[in-house]
Structure 1
């Protein structure tokens, strides 16, 4: 029975993935960046902050600090001022400067392209590292688990865990590796467009028949019309 249950969950996860691909055929990273360093910093700033807000902050930030050496030597008060509107700005500024200093001293001034190295940087945990590896280097090392992914994955019955690391492990077992990162982005789009945390619109959700948490009868069949996030 356990093996049958796992197989059923995996089949359902693959069907969910296929529908998400139809709904959101384009799944780019919503943060603006030109290189892995900028992506790492933007992702660090996005913690407890919207990507839209981060994208308003980073043009001036990256103009003031154009490379890892500039960030490593940054005046902390000036850095705090530039990132203040993203929230938790003191800790974020401290971690950004410290991460860049470590990149210089331990990684020859280049953002490392290995999970084990990235997570040694101040302020960089698996979530940030997954984003940097996937969109900065084209490496799918894991599944990014943010608040949308954590919530909707649980609603879909694809995990019983609440710890992001354990949720990530569950998803890595269910999904093909090339789709690990874009699964997360598509779930974020779906959370914004349909599965809102306060008022999920199950009546129009094209995953409803696959979702044990759906509050409405499953729709007849999945549409093929793409939804623009």
Structure 2
């Protein structure tokens, strides 16, 4: 084994254990883990430059940084906020698609004899309103965890609120998709409604996954 081998093994094992204990957006988590690993390597190198054997230098670096249990709470809080921002951003970006669905639904022929398509339109309109409200809240959450966070602490409960806002928005999108597809079965302008339903379904899929991850992160212990 090379001289650098033991050092890398000790640090890599520590970093791998920390990574397994953390949950959050892949990109943010990768960046955080990379920064910690770089810090450990630099600290170990400093000890080695002072004449400490490399394996002991690595162990000293790990000890100075803290155990996995020591690091997880603060690291998880950072990732939880990152996940909340990811969910809020997803809601803010996908909700306009549901508004587009509202316009598409409103453009179909309303003089037809069937009442179910008209009812489905009304359902879609109300659900679009729910998603619009969620998008406005998402914009506020992005500000609270971004520019405002430099001056004011981020409320502890905000990630969970963002998660449930995302869940509400995804539910509205799923309901709108169902209503529009139902209307498409009876409407004369069914291609427009199918397109609207597809947009709503795609938006639901994107938001639901992010909101689920946010709920999980928000329930993890943090400092």
- Of Structure 1 and Structure 2, the greater helix share is in 2
> Which TM-score bucket, shorter chain as reference?
under 0.3
If asked which structure has higher relative contact order (CA below 8 Å, sep 6+), I would say: 2
TM-score, length basis structure 1 = 0.27
